[in-house]
Structures are given as C-alpha cells and as structure tokens.
Amino acid sequence: MTRTKEYLLYNAVLSWLANYGSMGEELTPQYQQLETELKKNYEQSLNPQTQKRGRPAKRQRTKKATSNPSSTETSKTTNQET
C-alpha cells in the first residue's frame, strides 16, 4: 500500500512526540503545533473535495417532432354514410 506524503509526515511527527515529547525539550511545543497542522492536511487528503463543473450538463435540443399526418386526417370509416 502506497502512503501519501501527508501520512508520512504526520506519522513522523507523532512518532517524535511519542518518543521524545515527554522529555521536556524546547522543541516539543513546535512539534505539537506542527502535529495539529499536519493532522488537518492529512484528514483533508483522505476526503478530497471534487471540483464542481462550471455549468450543469444539458441534453442537446432536438427539433420538435412533427405531428403524424394520418392522425390529423378524419377517419374514413367513421364518416362514411351507409
């Protein structure tokens, strides 16, 4: 499984804080701040937002269907006199 750059950086900072953060070094606050920034970037990389298109897709307009000439003619079988 290929890991992203954001994951690797976030994991490295978490590892440093787990191993060296409790020793009271002067770098611990900087690493904690970096951890919050990288956490935000890592979470955003997990759920990328899709970019919306400029306009909605519409179907191509076609010519109006012409009416069937046989349907407008009067039926000869009903109008015949017997």
- Calculate Rg over the CA atoms of the chain: 35
Give the percent of the chain with pLDDT over 70: 76
pTM over 0.75: no
pLDDT at site 49: 74
Would you say residue 64 has pLDDT above 90?
no
Contact 7, 42 (CB under 8 A): yes
SS3 75: coil
Distance of alpha carbon 25 from the chain centroid: 42
Residue 72 CB-half CA count within 13 A: 4
